[in-house]
Amino acid sequence: MTTLILAIETSCDETAAAVIENGRALVSSVVASQMEIHARYGGVYPEVASRQHVLSIVPVVEQALAQAHFTLQDMDAVAATRGPGLAGSLVVGLNAAKGLALGADLPLVGVNHLEGHIYSAWIHDAGQTPPPAPQFPLLALLVSGGHTELNLMTDHLTYTRLGATLDDAAGEAFDKVARLLGLPYPGGPSVQKAAEEGDPTRFKFPRARLEGTWNFSFSGLKTAVLHETQKIHSSGKTLPVADFAASFQAAVVDALFTKTIAAAREFGAREIIVAGGVSANRALRETFKAQTDFPVHIPRLSLCTDNAAMIGAAGYFRYALGHIAEMDLDVQSTWPLS
Ligand code: KG4
Ligand code: ZN
């Protein structure tokens, strides 16, 4: 039996829609990015984001269905991100999903955005033999602009949060350090690009170990970068931006990798998932692919940053397990979900 999910994601600055078959096969995925609009503010401007979602949501959904060669009536359910994210942005996608579900008499499924990132690891191209699905128990490292956490997954939709960042998220640290170094928004890709020409051993930036916990901390690292840049500025020398970027990136990758592997061993995980915007980082991907024997699932680049395909994948497993939402479903930020 084939189950088709139409999924919608509008939690931040991307208006996205996708069609996913049986939770894994990517039939279509459309992402309308607002990056250029927000770049002039140096970050996401929430009011502008909501207005852009209102303008884009209908054409983006129409495009996702058209690219999939399906109509709304062919769908089995409509899934949408209900949080966490910007409330004014979330309501646009969630209400669009409610309208579509009501109009076509389809079930509505609410998906947590972080859960969506994790489920991006299940996705493969439609028409291809599916690669083996991630095996439980698995450890999911979630690294995005707003979150950095380790979750143990013992089954579908069953998460135990082992630890999280005590201050900045990894992506937030990339974005803030990019600003310190005078690199353009969005910070993650800019730091990665600058780092390619740099020496990762030039500066010995701190790695907060937070022994005895599964938490992370990146604010000390950010402050260390700030102090080092101030020293160089006051000496009148030019900032070695590439070395700063490479040394900072190495410290983040080291902190994330070391703790994830230790947790995977401690909790007997069979496999590891690395997901969220920062999982697009080349140094992080290469480290996880090369330096551990654990099987590691990292989504392809287009599925690392925000998209609706991941919401369709998680939405399918919710739908299949009977998690159907009422029409009064509201935006929600708590996590893990019950
Ligand atoms: O998952 P995402 O698209 O949005 C959130 O849910 O937050 O993550 C966005 C974050 C931003 O902080 C961005 O700078 C970071 O992911 N990011 C990267 C890279 N690409 C995106 N960080 C490091 N290296 C990258 N290549
Ligand atoms: Zn995200």
How far is the first Cα of the chain from the last one, in angstroms, to the nearest whole number?
28
Q: Do 143 and 278 share a domain, yes or no? A: yes
- Residues 300, 274: contact at Cβ < 8 Å? no
Task: State yes or no: cis peptide before 336, omega within 30 of 0.
Answer: yes
CA distance 83 to 278: 19
Cβ-contact 229, 181 below 8 angstroms:
yes
- Ligand 1: centre distance to CA 145 (Å): 5
Q: What is the pLDDT of residue 224?
A: 98
Domain assignment of residue 327, yes or no: no
d(CA 166, CA 164): 6
Global pTM reads 0.95
pLDDT tier at 336 (50, 70, 90 boundaries)?
low
Name the closest ligand to CA 171. Answer: 1
Ligand nearest to the CA of 191: 1
pLDDT of residue 34: 85
User: Quick check: is 226 in a domain?
Assistant: yes
Note the pLDDT of residue 36.
85
Same domain, 80 and 156: no
Which of 34, 175, 305 is the pocket-test mutation for ligand 1 (most atoms within 8 Å of CB)? 305
Residue 337 near residue 119, CB atoms below 8 Å: no
Overall domain count for the chain: 2
Q: Which of 14, 141, 278 to mutate to test the pocket of ligand 1 (most atoms within 8 A of CB)?
A: 278
Same domain (yes/no): 235, 272: yes
- Same domain flag for 80 and 177: no
- Count CB-CB contacts under 10 A for residue 16: 30
Could you report the per-residue pLDDT of 147-178, keeping only the tens digit for each?
999 999 999 999 999 999 999 999 999 999 99
Q: Let me know whether 106 and 225 are in one domain.
A: no
Q: Tell me, yes or no, whether 147 and 262 share the same domain.
A: yes
Give yes or no: residues 97 and 39 share one domain. yes
28 and 57 inside one domain? yes
Q: Does some domain include residue 22?
A: yes
Mean pLDDT of the region 113-138 = 96
| From 142, 144, 181, mutation site for ligand 1 pocket: most ligand atoms within 8 A of C-beta | 144
CA distance 312 to 117: 11
Structural tokens at position 122: 């299940």
Provide the domain limits for residue 198.
138-298
308 shares a domain with 287: no
Ligand nearest to the CA of 279: 1
Distance 240 CA to ligand 2 centre (A): 31
Residue 338 pLDDT exceeds 50 = no
Q: Which atom of ligand 1 is nearest to the CA of 306?
A: 3
Given a cut of 70, is residue 229 above it in pLDDT? yes
Tell whether 170 is covered by a domain. yes
229, part of any domain: yes
Q: What is the pLDDT of residues 203-217, one digit of tens each?
A: 999 999 999 999 999
Residues 314 and 195 in one domain: no
Tell me how far apart the alpha carbons of residues 211 and 193 are, in angstroms, rounded to a whole number: 32
pLDDT tens-digit readout, 267-282: 999 999 999 999 999 9
Are residues 217 and 151 part of one domain? Answer: yes
CA of 276 from ligand 1 middle (Å) equals: 7
Distance CA 325, CA 316 (A): 13
Residue 68 lies in a domain: yes
Residues with CB under 6 A from ligand 1: 12, 144-146, 171-172, 174-175, 186-189, 192, 276-278, 280-281, 305-306
pLDDT, residue 31, reads 97
Residues 158 and 65 occupy one common structural domain = no
Phi, psi dihedral angles at 248 (to 5 degrees): -65, -50
Q: Whose CA is nearest to atom 10 of ligand 1?
A: 145
Does 131 fall in a domain?
Answer: no
Using one digit for the tens of pLDDT, what is the confidence trace for 100-117?
999 999 999 999 999 999
Q: Give a yes or no: residue 32 inside a domain.
A: yes
CATH number where 215 lies: 3.30.420.40
Sequence-separated (6 or more) residues with CB below 8 Å from residue 231: none
